Amino acid sequence: MASDQGGTSGIGPVVSSAHLASSALPALSEVEFALTMAGHGFQRWMVRCMTAAGVPGLSPLEVLILHLVNHRDRSKTLADICLVLNIEDTHLANYAIRKLEGHGLVGTGRKGKEKAVFITEAGAALCTRYGEIRDALLVRTARQLGYDPAEISRLAALLRALSGAYDQAARAAAAL
What is the per-residue DSSP string for 54-82?
T-TT--HHHHHHHHHHHGGG--EEHHHHH
> Is 91 among the domain residues?
yes
**The total number of structural domains that make up the chain:** 1
Please give the sequence-ordered ranges of beta strands (E in DSSP) within 35-162, or none if there are none.
76-77, 106-111, 114-119
Is the per-residue pLDDT at 103 higher than 60?
yes
Task: Report d(CA 175, CA 152) in Å as an integer.
Answer: 35
Single pTM value for the model: 0.88
Judge whether 14 lies within some domain: no
What is the DSSP-derived secondary structure letter of residue 113? T
pLDDT of 9: 63
Q: What is the CATH number of the domain that holds 142?
A: 1.10.10.10
Query: Is 49 within the bounds of a domain?
Result: no
Q: Is 70 exceeded by the pLDDT of residue 1?
A: no
CA 173 from centre of chain: 24
Helix (H, G, I), strand (E, B) or coil at 44: helix
> Are the C-beta atoms of residues 109 and 69 closer than 8 Å to each other?
no
* pLDDT confidence bin for 21, thresholds 50/70/90: confident
d(CA 138, CA 77): 30
127: in domain: yes
Q: Are 64 and 23 in contact (CB under 8 A)?
A: no
At 98, the amino acid letter reads R
Say which residues have a Cβ less than 8 Å from residue 136's Cβ, sequence separation at least 6: none
Q: ∠ at Cα 73 (69, 76), nearest 5°? A: 40
Does residue 64 form part of some domain? yes
Q: Is residue 138 part of a domain?
A: yes
In a domain? residue 142 = yes
Residue 161's CB is within 10 A of a number of other CB atoms, namely: 9
Q: Which domain holds residue 134?
A: 57-168
Residue 162 lies in a domain: yes
pLDDT digits (tens, 9 = 90+) for 6-18: 455 667 778 888 8
- 23-70: pLDDT as tens digits: 888 888 889 999 999 999 999 999 999 999 999 999 999 999 999 999
